[in-house]
Structure 1
Amino acid sequence: MDDSSPRNLPAPPTITHPVRTIGARRFDFARDVAVMAVVNRTPDSFYDQGRTFALESAVAACIDAEEAGADWVDIGGAPFAPGPAIEAEEEADRVVPVVDAVRAASDVVISVDTFQAEVARRSIEAGADVVNDTTGLSDPDLPRVVADSDAHIVITHSLAVPRTPYPTPTYEDVAREVADYLEARVERALDAGIPAERIIVDPGHDLNKNTLHSLELTRRLGPIVALGYPTLVAVSNKDFIGESLDAPRAERVEGSLVAAALCIAQGARIIRMHNVRQSVAAVRMTQAILGLREPAYLRHNMGERND
């Protein structure tokens, strides 16, 4: 940028391997911010409550998300919330046909939200580019599956055994403790043979954290970004938004966009969101303010005669 670049804004994150080829798409996370759309093929999903459980609906939602501007679709077949275990075969039967159909129709980045190694393996074979593990590598076989492929891995902070309740969470310094946990899990991934240039980290807003913890992470994302890996944040319509605003799930969009923008300003580079069109606009505007992208066009007060 020239001398008109913004001043006194947060420094861009230092990412060890900022340029990533993920599937067919290339990102320079020194400047680029990817919008990840959420598509859940579950009958009891957190936000859409089963709206995309049918195979045709899930595939259509992925294609619609790309047309609305999403760079990436995240396909899930099992909720994070406590509940009965979902066997790998059933979860794979939910997500793999979606991956297969979307990959046949599009080069959009596809991630699969799973912690189970067998689901990850079958999804990668069907065309998934990323495994989004919200349980911090709880399945010891998962790192090997990813290492033996070309897929990226998202390593997320959470404390509970998958699909189980967790006692009241307590932290002395939530941002520091989350960063330390992620650093240790990254070492586990590296030891398993996953190269650093295929690792992404996520602080796990609301995952075994109360609203005060998630708010603290949102305003102090620095220790996570400082790990040197692209940081993903999943803030969309979460309970910390609802409790902050006294808003039901259907009325959390504006709060989610503000949280996402603040995270981007601190260095987040992948934003996992439900409301794609609004999220793409908010992300691109945030990038423009931060000097990470040029305006789409310049016309206002740019001519010899101005209105």
Structure 2
Amino acid sequence: MFKGILIEKDEAGYRAAVQDIDPAALPAGDVTVQVAYSTLNYKDGLAISGKSPVVRRFPMVPGIDLAGSVIESSHPDVKVGDAVVLNGWGVGESHWGGLAQRARLNGDWLVPLPAAFSPAQAMAIGTAGYTAMLSVLALERYGLTPDRGPVIVTGAAGGVGSVAVAVLAKLGYRVTAVTGRPQEADYLRQLGATEVLARTDFSSPGKPLAKERWAGAVDTVGSHTLANVCAQMSYRGIVTACGLAGGMDLPASVAPFILRGVTLAGIDSVMCPRPERLQAWQRLATDLDLTKLSLITHEIGLTDAIPTATALLASQVRGRVVVDVNA
């Protein structure tokens, strides 16, 4: 038996609890991983709480991230003893995920744990940090360089935003951080932000076009925040959209795109092809200052994950939550 969070839905209702799970209940897969660490992300919070229909089948072990070592494998490219990381691929939604001591998975979903990181550090980065790096790669792909001008990061005190601020600052960008938590201003400056703005400056309906301010943007919020960021982009600015903490709508106009040549690039971390995943993790190994991880991260045990999920959805959690599934 192994311990894990199991989400169930039946006539008695929707519930999540830490349980002892029989290995025979693990889903199909060609690789079994002994999980060392997982994480708690916004999507995991939604799954555990049932506040959004994230879970596609029941029962379900949540957790869109995991790091651990392979204990069984029939996959030709994955060997017993390999240290591996998994992010996304519908894990924790339609396939049992990482908030348990064991996981059975499709070996094609796994990437090698970079030598630069311990399993705990890899989970301190997790899907949030990997998504942030995908956003940085997209900004670069569309030609953004530090000399073009400042970059804005919305939802900056969250997991994606925190890593984005840290990476962009290390790469030499002038970073403006936007947050709804003014008490986190010092934290964001420690990560490398040169300016901290209030979320309320962006969360109300704005003009189709506003004063040009930003050469690049990483948006984790959506809705009016993303619309206002687009309206404030400089000529040929690049915006990456990777989150919806503020809503799924986009009440914007075409003006920034057809009058200023602004690019809006969507970032999907769940089904991202393997070559881009490998590139993102390789770049994180060189472009993320690991000394910042202690600022970004706090660690909890498996039994603390359920109450922490509620705090996460209430925007009461800073940065990244690493879950030691064996504690």
Greater percentage in helix? 1
TM over 0.5, shorter chain: no
TM-score of the pair, normalised by structure 1: 0.28
Greater percentage in strand? 2
